[in-house]
């Protein structure tokens, strides 16, 4: 096969890039190692920044998002038996929308297939060759056969464990990484949310987050040890711990329901620089990961490929090389801003060391400042809803 841009990975980054390229009249082929059913149903992020919503809407992908997504104009901070709302829209004029990543993926797949796009599922990319030449080759295995995709450029959107980043020669990339001493236990429950906006709770037993996916489905998280055994958390224990950490406001109670799914997610920060080498351009989790506290993962991926889409269009339409050459530098400005915000939210809300009362007092002081200072709350809000430009 031959195309202009070969895209490895059918997550939000790869699919959105293919969609954007199509709108510019640029051909692409998306290769995905998993099945369509798998990528359309794997649970990931659920919060879209204002900029991500705007991107989806202006490129023709907003119909279901605007109909089914839950627009939120604030978040709630709970700590020390108190509840404080951060009025994000009042402070910034912008909002966030709760709309699961799997729904974004479904919309993108439907749009690409309706437009005649090529997405090859169950296509395992095995290696990338010729990245330092005008004729890169993506080798993949599908239906038991070894195949090749030849292209002008390769976009590596295949996540942290994909092959794309590993195709860069040793010594070119520099990694920055931090592992946190806790994880999140997440549950999806068939329970109508008891709140209208996300609740971030700081508690002496650990952090808790009350989120939702629809008016009938809640998404909840608990801070646990990084090596926690999921089998040690039957549904009854999960609900009991959620009640302890969330029912700290007089008169408020948790809505419970059947647990549909549960998982444990390690918490880490990761950035690779640069995000490009020769004819390979990396985007999304392939080059950066943030702890989910700041709700930035999917939004960063979409921001990456928005830049790449414009850069490829400038190259094919006008022969310009400056946007492709500057892709990494431009993208990393937003990446590091999001890294800092995610680290700040994580450090403020989680119990970092249960035997350090000084640290706990600092966290409470920081939360109270965010709850009472309009300037500090505005800083939180503008980062949470997404900065228009970085």
* Residues identified as active-site: 72, 200, 292, 296, 384
Q: Residues with Cβ < 8 Å from 46, sequence gap 6 or more? A: 98, 99, 100, 101, 211, 213, 219, 295
Q: Annotate 272-326 with DSSP letters as a single string.
A: EE-SEETTEEE-GGGTEE--GGG--HHHHHHHHHHHHHHHHHHHHHH---HHHHT
From CA 225, how far away is CA 229, in angstroms rounded?
A: 9
From CA 148, how far away is CA 256, in angstroms rounded?
A: 50
From CA 293, how far away is CA 267, in angstroms rounded?
A: 9
From CA 273, how far away is CA 328, in angstroms rounded?
A: 8
C-beta of residue 160 within 8 angstroms of C-beta of residue 286:
yes
Question: Which residues partner with 139 through β-bridges?
Answer: 127, 148
Residue 183: alpha-carbon gap to chain centroid = 16
Cβ atoms within 10 Å of 182's Cβ, excluding its own: 20
Q: How far is CA 260 from CA 43, 128, 188, 190, in A?
A: 12, 39, 5, 7
From CA 238, how far away is CA 328, in angstroms rounded?
A: 42
């Amino acid at each position: 096969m031959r195309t202009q841009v070969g895209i490895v990975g059918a997550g939000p980054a790869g699919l959105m890039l293919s969609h954007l390229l199509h709108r510019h009249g640029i051909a692409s082929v998306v290769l995905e190692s998993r099945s369509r059913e798998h990528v359309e149903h794997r649970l990931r992020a659920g919060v879209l920044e204002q900029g991500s919503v705007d991107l989806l809407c202006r490129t023709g992908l907003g119909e279901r998002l605007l109909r089914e997504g839950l627009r939120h104009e604030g978040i709630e901070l709970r700590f020390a038996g108190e509840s404080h709302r951060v009025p994000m829209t009042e402070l910034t004029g912008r909002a966030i929308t709760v709309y699961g990543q799997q729904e974004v993926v479904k919309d993108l797949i439907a749009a690409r297939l309706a437009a005649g796009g090529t997405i090859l599922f169950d296509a395992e990319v095995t290696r990338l060759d010729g990245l330092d030449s005008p004729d890169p080759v993506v080798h993949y295995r599908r239906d038991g056969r070894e195949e090749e995709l030849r292209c002008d450029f390769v976009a590596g959107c295949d996540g942290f464990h994909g092959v794309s980043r590993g195709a860069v020669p040793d010594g070119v990339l520099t990694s920055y990484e931090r592992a946190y001493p806790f994880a999140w236990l997440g549950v999806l429950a068939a329970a109508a949310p008891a709140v209208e906006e996300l609740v971030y709770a700081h508690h002496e037993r650990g952090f808790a987050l009350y989120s939702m996916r629809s008016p009938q489905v809640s998404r909840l998280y608990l801070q646990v040890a990084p090596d926690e055994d999921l089998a040690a958390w039957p549904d009854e224990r999960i609900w009991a711990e959620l009640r302890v950490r969330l029912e700290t406001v007089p008169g408020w109670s948790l809505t419970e329901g059947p647990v549909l799914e549960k998982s444990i997610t390690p918490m880490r920060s990761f950035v690779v620089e640069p995000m490009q080498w020769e004819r390979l351009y990396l985007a999304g989790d392939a080059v950066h990961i943030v702890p989910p506290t700041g709700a930035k993962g999917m939004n960063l991926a979409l921001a990456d490929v928005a830049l790449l889409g414009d850069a490829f269009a400038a190259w094919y339409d006008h022969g310009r090389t400056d946007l492709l050459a500057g892709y990494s530098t431009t993208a990393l400005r937003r990446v590091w801003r999001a890294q800092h915000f995610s680290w700040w939210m994580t450090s403020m809300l989680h119990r970092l060391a249960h035997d350090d009362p000084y640290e706990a007092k600092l966290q409470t002081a920081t939360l109270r400042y965010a709850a009472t200072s309009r300037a500090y709350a505005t800083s939180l809000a503008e980062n949470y809803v997404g900065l228009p430009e970085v």
